[in-house]
Amino acid sequence: MATAPTTPLPPEADRRDAGLGWLRDLSFSAVLGDETAMAVIDDAHGDRAWLLTNPDAVRRFIASIEAELARPDPQLLAV
């Protein structure tokens, strides 16, 4: 039995750019302390920026970045 070298992704599959996904539109800097944290998040298009000073919000933001970077690329799973 022969298998095609690649299998096309269904249209509803999540496509993203080279491992960056929604991160490609953001730049950020974060500082974490034991009980404090701060992050500056800038939209790449230059029309928005956020300053997070709530330590829980900063840690959730960093966790979402880590999760995005750890998520497998569906393009690689389609073979």
pLDDT value at residue 2: 47
Q: How many CB atoms lie within 10 A of CB 30?
A: 15
* Tokens matching residue 5: 């070298």
List strands edge to edge, sheet with 26-32. 26-32, 37-43, 49-52
Give me the residues of the chain with pLDDT under 50, please.
1-4, 16, 18-19
CA angle 68, 56, 49 (to 5 degrees): 65
pLDDT value at residue 21: 65
pLDDT value at residue 36: 93
Domain locations in the chain? 25-72
The model scores a pTM over 0.85:
no
* Contact between 37 and 60 (Cβ < 8 Å): no
